[in-house]
Structures are given as C-alpha cells and as structure tokens.
Amino acid sequence: MQGTKPMGKEARIELVDALRERYRVAPREVKGRILDELVAVSGFHRKHAVRLLRSQSPLQPSPAVLGRRVYDEAVRQALIVIWEAADRICGKRLKVIIPSFLSAMERHGHLKLPPEVRQRLEAVSPATIDRMLRSVRKTAGSRRKKRPGKRLSREIPVKTSHDWAESLPGHLEIDFVVHCGESMAGEYLHSLVATDVCSGWTEAVALLAREQNLVVEGLKRIRAQMPMSVCGINSDNDGAFINETLAAYCREEKIVFTRSRVNHKNDQAWIEQKNGAVIRRMVGHSRFSGLVAGQTLVQLHQIIRLYVNFFQPSFKLRERVRDGSKIKKSYHAPATPCDRLLAHPGISQGIKDTLRNQQCLMDPVSLLHRIRQGQSALATLSTGQPVDGPSQDDLNQFLSKLPESWRSGEVRPTHQKGPAKTRNWRTREDPFARVWADILLSLQS
C-alpha cells in the first residue's frame, strides 16, 4: 500500500468509524494488520491512528475557521490614496513613509481619517501592503513590463563559438559597425556586415539608421550579393536584430536564426575580426552622416566586397590545443574566400563557374584605385576639406606611383590625420588686456 494517495477528510472519518468496533474485539495480530492498513490508506501517524480507534465517541469534522479581517475597505482606500501620493512606491518603502504622509496630509487638509483607521494604517506590514495593493497595481500597470525582446531572446536559440566546428557555406554572422567618430550623439551611418563562417566571404551594406526594417532590407541586399544561398543567421543581442520583424523574415525565408550569449563577444569571433580587418581598415573611424556620405559608403562597399573576397587571402584556424597556460593555434594555408568556395564540395559547379568568370574579369589594381578614390571622397566629407589622395589620378598615374607610395607613409585617405586645429592655450582672461596700449606706449617713449 506504499505510495497510495491519502484519503479525503470525510472518507477518513467514515473509515475510522467502520474499523473501530473490529479493532476493539480483534486479537493482537489482527489489530496490527488493521493499523497497517489504516495508516497506509489514511496517511495518519500510527500513534494517532491508535488513539482514534480506541476513542469511544465518533469523530466529528472540525468546523471551518473563518479568518478575521483586520484591514477593512476603509483602510484599503486610505492606503490607495497614500500610495498614489507617494508616487506608487513598493510596500517596503511605503511602510516607512506612511506616518509622515499621514501627518502631512492631515496637516494640510488633504486627508481626515478616524482614529481606528489611522492606527491600522500605521500597523500594517509591508507584505500586507503589497497584498492589498496587488489588484490595484495590476490595473494601474505600475509594474514594469517585460520587453518583447526578452521573450524573443528565450525563443531564439543560442549558438556559441564551439558550435561552428562543422559549419557549411551559407551560415552567416552579422553585426553593426557604427561610423560615429568620437561621439555617439546624433545621427550617423551604420554598416551592416555579414560574413560566411565557412569561407570568410564578407558583405557589407550602408544604413542611414539602426532600425529593424532597414536591417531586413539590408539583409535582402546581402543575400542577393552572396554567391551561395543563406541557410542561417547568427547575431548578437542588439535590439535591431532581436525583434519580431527579423524573426518573422527568417521564418518566412526558412532561415535558421540564432544569437550569441550576452557579453560573450567571442561567440561572434568571425564577424568581430572582419569588422576590424575589413570595415575599419577600409573605412576608418571617422564620423559619417547624411545622404551624400551614405551613397558614397554604398559605392565603396560595392568595390570593397570584390577586392576582399577575390583578392585578399586570410588565415583560417585549423585547431587550438592547450599546453598548460598556453594555447597553441595552427592555421590552414592562407586563401581568399573565393578560393575556399571553389574548393568546397558543397558548392555547385554552376556557382564555381560563375566565380571563376568574375575573377578573370576583375583587375585588382583598378579595384584598389577605386577604393582609394572612395576613401578620399569619404575623408573629404568627414573633414570638410580636400584630402591628398588619388581622387584626381587616373589608373595609369595611380599605377606609376605604387613603387614609391610607401615613402609617403599612410596611403589610406580615411586614416590620414587632418590639419591640426588652432588652439588658444590661454585658460583665463588676460590681466593686461585693458592696459596693453599704455604699456606699448611707455615702451616706445
């Protein structure tokens, strides 16, 4: 009978009354078995069951005890008034300030309470305050609502840096690069960057603002430029990514949407590396804003994608082994993203033929020249002054300067220092400003 669910109160009373006479006349061995059955079925303690069976009077159900209400509606209404006057603070804080509010409100004629109501208000506990105000808080909506992003964060699965070991082409990491300069105040451009974890193929589009609908439009442009189909997207926990608009787009397009862990940048190690090695290296850290700068950045990204994906080899980690306190890393031979796609068995022959044809038609020197021209235009928009660069040179002039350009130091216009600003180092008013004329006159005489 072990594990049997205990009986209800009425049924236990009936069972004890039915067994009492049998228990009284039964021999010792039978009494033991009756007790065993009663304890197993009813859940009584064995000693308590013995007392019940030996009792002469039948059991009576205990009368229901009605709780005595200490704080009536008058106390509740007065508490609501004080709670509102205290700007809807919590019960623990309100308990401390109730005496002061009662005195102040009565002194200024805002509240007049009977002595018994005032006494109960001063005696109420913080837990009772919260319990009495529970329905009021719910109606008033004073409790902080959970943001929709929190719900989506629970629905979107987490993907860590250890989950990318066997990734296939088409699984992207996405992130923002902000072009705000030294201040994040006001409006400025953003670059939405996406990189394929398997091949390193990187795309970027310029956005005028950090907005979820613009993010979806940017992803559509990125997908149109990708040589392979996009199977999955992994982002950080930015609200521009973790929202219903992007989640619905991924569901509609059958794209697996995952996210990284909060405050774990290494979960997005591939896109973080491309942010610096591609976007910051090509665009710099200056501030860009407005439509003209946006159009210039769009054109520059279109050239950068060709130059980086077809003519910029990169390393790819093969394995990492911990040796005591050190970590030893080994890498595959450097290869361009295009070469990695050409060597991958999961890419169709048609896509490989298209990539080979594109690579044969492109001139890396011409692409670099156009990148320098775009960088010059961006630098001019950022500083407001013309920047020395190849913006006016044709391709032949640019090519002729390549052997000696190293002597000029930094050749990227977006990374060259602008003219120094004039600085008035005086930090206080000149004490001789009013008598300089007299001083000069006395020196001349």
Total domains, the chain: 4
In a domain? residue 297? yes
Region of 132 please: left (phi>0), alpha (psi -120 to 50) or beta: alpha
What does the DSSP 8-state code read for residue 265?
G
Lowest mean pLDDT of 41-55, 83-97, 174-188, 389-403, name the range: 389-403
| Among 244, 245, 247, 249, residue whose Cα is nearest residue 223 | 249
Are 347 and 381 contained in the same domain?
A: no
Residue, of 118 and 404, whose pLDDT is higher: 118
The yes-or-no verdict on residue 156 having pLDDT over 90 is no
In a domain? residue 151? no
In a domain? residue 125? yes
Are 372 and 262 contained in the same domain?
A: no
Tokens of 207: 């956005």
Confidence of residue 21 (pLDDT cuts 50, 70, 90): confident
Return the percentage of the chain with pLDDT > 70, whole number. 88
Residue, of 37 and 390, whose pLDDT is higher: 37
373 contacts 390 by C-beta, under 8 angstroms: yes
Are 353 and 367 contained in the same domain?
A: no
**Stated pTM of the model:** 0.64
Q: What range defines the domain where residue 213 resides?
A: 170-360
Q: How far apart are CA 53 and CA 36, in angstroms?
A: 13
Residue, of 175 and 139, whose pLDDT is higher: 175
